[in-house]
């Protein structure tokens, strides 16, 4: 049965890239059309999606042999799992009782202009009170929860390419 999904890893990496592109397009839609301003954790998740997409695109263009496929698969999984960790923190913040939610911080533009880069990155990855707000849900899950699912799917897709390559060349 698994032989039905064993395509060239180049195709799967390209499909992963298209998935990342779609996620970024959805984020842009929610921001610019629906008017939902992204919090620092949302922006961090977008950067992780972008990094994962870049790994997938390079892997698809390169179309490496087994060693390269393994390296790209691990790199793609690492970037996706980094994004999943950010999404997990975001979901955790959204489920905190209101009295435990951290204070809202300054906007990202202000932080970039007035804070050292390390402090800005720390605030972006730790989240603020803005990150606890749930603006949108689908089937009872918030956007960060769906993003977590997407990151886990991307990491799985990436790691499956190690098995997929071996299956195509046995």
Q: What is the CATH T-level fold of the domain 2-168, as seen in this structure?
A: Bromodomain-like (1.20.1550)
Question: Would you list the domain boundaries of the chain?
Answer: 2-168
User: Can you tell me which residue has the tokens 């007035």?
Assistant: 114
Instruction: Write out pLDDT tens, residues 133-150.
Output: 778 777 988 999 999 999
Which distant-in-sequence residues (6+ apart) come within 8 Å of 28 by Cβ?
none
SS3 10: helix
Write out pLDDT tens, residues 58-81: 999 998 888 888 999 999 999 999
Kindly report the pTM of this predicted structure. Answer: 0.79
| pLDDT, average across residues 104-108 | 63
- How far are the Cα atoms of 53, 54, 101, 125 from residue 134, in angstroms, in the given order? 26, 29, 13, 18
Q: Using CA atoms in the order 66, 67, 73, 76, what is the torsion angle rounded to 10 degrees?
A: -140
């Amino acid at each position: 049965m698994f032989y039905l999904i064993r395509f060239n890893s180049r195709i799967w990496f390209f499909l992963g890239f298209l998935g990342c592109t779609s996620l970024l397009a959805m984020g842009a839609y929610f921001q610019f059309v629906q008017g939902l301003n992204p919090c620092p954790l949302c922006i961090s998740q977008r950067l992780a999606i972008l990094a994962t997409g870049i790994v997938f695109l390079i892997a698809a263009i390169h179309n490496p042999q087994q060693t390269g496929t393994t390296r790209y698969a691990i790199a793609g999984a690492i970037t996706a799992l980094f994004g999943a960790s950010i999404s997990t923190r975001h979901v955790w913040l959204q489920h905190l009782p209101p009295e435990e939610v951290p204070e809202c911080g300054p906007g990202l533009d202000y932080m970039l202009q007035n804070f050292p880069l390390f402090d800005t990155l720390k605030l972006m990855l730790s989240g603020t009170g803005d990150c606890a707000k749930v603006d949108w849900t689908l089937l009872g899950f918030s956007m960060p929860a769906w993003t977590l699912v997407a990151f886990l799917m991307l990491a799985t897709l990436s790691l499956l390419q190690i098995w997929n390559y071996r299956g195509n060349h046995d």
